[in-house]
Amino acid sequence: MASYAHPQHLPSPALTVSRGTDSPLRHLGPNWYAAVMGTAIVASAGAALPVPVPRAASVTVWALSALLLAVLLVARALHWLHHRDQARAHLLDPAVAPFYGCLSMALLAVGGATLTLGADVIGARAALAVDVVLFTAGTLVGVVAAAAIPYLMVTRHELAPGTASPVWLLPVVAPMVSASQGPLLLPHLPAGQWREAMLLGSYALFGLSLLATLLMLPLIFGRLVVHGPLPLALTPTLFLVLGPLGQSTTAVGALADVAPDAISGSYAGAFESFAVVYGVPVLGFALLWLALALAMVVRAARAGLRFGMTWWGFTFPVGTCVTGAAGLARHTGLAAYGWLATALYAFLVIAWAVAAVGTLRGLASGRLLAAPARA
């Protein structure tokens, strides 16, 4: 992949590079939804912690994430309306197309946070209605992205050896977010077939995402071993690997919580056991990957890593590990998992603050919305 002066856009030669008269919206890619995801998970993870976090603070962060989502949905709609050539170029760019998974996850993350926290502001009925809409839209977009982006990778994208990237995980991990959010809606469904369908449908989404992730991870690690570290601008994307690990742990824990209300006792007990038997080793691997990713980021920082939108990768994936550890604390009763969740949440809040400040500075200077330029 070619080198660019503005690596936060993550473009490749398929993108049209233009100058001068560009509208700021022309280069607003789907990667911006990562800011929505990263903000919403701060609110949701704070509510899930076994230690008390001021609810007013979590509600405020939720409101900010909802506002960001509304603004970005409008901006991206205008992007497609007025810059269709660039929007099509994004879909044909193997470095940008996977970020369409972020749209699904942004919808789902804000929807779940609305049901959990937004009821304090807009009321329980309105919060439920918003989550139903966002969950439905996010799940449909996520399933389409999980199928369509790999299809484009096979048929339209030009992928050279050694270009595998953690960004490839974004479209396939989106259904896992649906699997973790479905349990929030299950108690609001009629007992019987509806609840069982939601439970098993969420498990199907869990399996879809998990198996697709298992196809991608060997490619990503093989690329690192054979071709060495990622380019500096892409180094923060190593944190994206934590997403399917933490989110799947969160999903099995949340599904185990609601299983007794949706399915017979023997299966409900099996789901409870699976939450621990699956979650403990997977979260262990997540901590191993976190150590590797941190070491690589420190190395990149020493080499001159600059802020880019990829820094939002430090937020949502870590947030899923917070909720995953909190779920294990709930199911095992081990205080150690509560401590782990709290420590990861502290990291999440710091990472979110750094990414937010960097984004505001980049917007003020115009650098983040400028046309990508070849070095």
CA atoms within 13 A on the CB side of 366: 7
CA dihedral 302, 305, 306, 310 (to 10 degrees): -140
Question: What does DSSP assign to residue 116?
Answer: I
Work out the mean pLDDT of the chain and round it to a whole number: 92
What letter does residue 230 receive in the DSSP assignment?
P
Identify whether the C-beta of residue 194 lies closer than 8 Å to the C-beta of residue 125.
no
What mean pLDDT comes out for the span 250-279? 95
Dihedral in degrees, nearest 10, Cα atoms 126, 130, 136, 140: 170
Residue 303 pLDDT > 80, yes or no? yes
- Tens-digit pLDDT profile for residues 161-213: 889 999 999 999 999 999 999 999 999 999 999 999 999 999 999 999 999 99
> pTM value?
0.92
Q: Encoding tokens for residue 127?
A: 């919060």
Report yes or no: 122 and 156 within 8 Å, Cβ to Cβ: no
Q: Which pLDDT score is estimated for 372?
A: 66
> What share of the chain has pLDDT > 70, as a percent?
93
Mean per-residue pLDDT for 1-20?
A: 38
Nearest to residue 324, comparing CAs of 304, 344, 303?
344
What is the model's pLDDT at position 1?
Answer: 35
Give pLDDT tens digits for 363-374.
Answer: 999 899 887 654
Q: Residue 343 in contact with residue 65, Cβ under 8 Å?
A: no
Give the separation between CA 99 and CA 31, rounded to whole angstroms.
5
pLDDT in tens, 113-149: 999 999 999 999 999 999 999 999 999 999 999 999 9
Q: What are the pLDDT digits (tens) for 28-48?
A: 999 999 999 999 999 999 999
Question: Please, which contacts does 213-222 make with residues 24 or more away whose CB atoms are closer than 8 Å?
Answer: 213/169, 213/172, 213/173, 213/176, 213/244, 213/248, 216/168, 216/169, 216/172, 217/169, 217/241, 219/164, 219/168, 220/164, 220/165, 220/166, 220/168, 220/169, 222/164
Domains of the chain by residue range? 7-365
Say if residue 375's pLDDT is above 70.
no
Give the three-state DSSP class for 158. Answer: coil
Instruction: For 213-242, give one letter per residue: b (16+ CB within 10 A) or e.
Output: beebbeebeebbeeeeebebbbbbbbbbbb
Neighbours of 341 (CB within 10 A): 25
- Cβ(116)–Cβ(47) below 8 Å: yes
In degrees and rounded to multiples of 5, residue 99 shows phi and psi of -70, -10
The mean per-residue pLDDT over the stretch 58-75 comes to 97
pLDDT of residue 161: 85
Percent of the chain clearing pLDDT 90 (strictly above): 87
- Answer whether 44's CB lies under 8 Å from 323's CB: yes
Nearest to 219 by CA among 264, 172, 271, 263: 172
Alpha-carbon distance of 46 to 324, in angstroms, equals 12
Nearest to 32 by CA among 284, 307, 310, 236: 310
Total residue count of the chain as it appears in this document? 375
Question: For the residues 61-75, what does the mean pLDDT come to?
Answer: 98
- For the domain covering 7-365, report its CATH number: 1.50.10.150
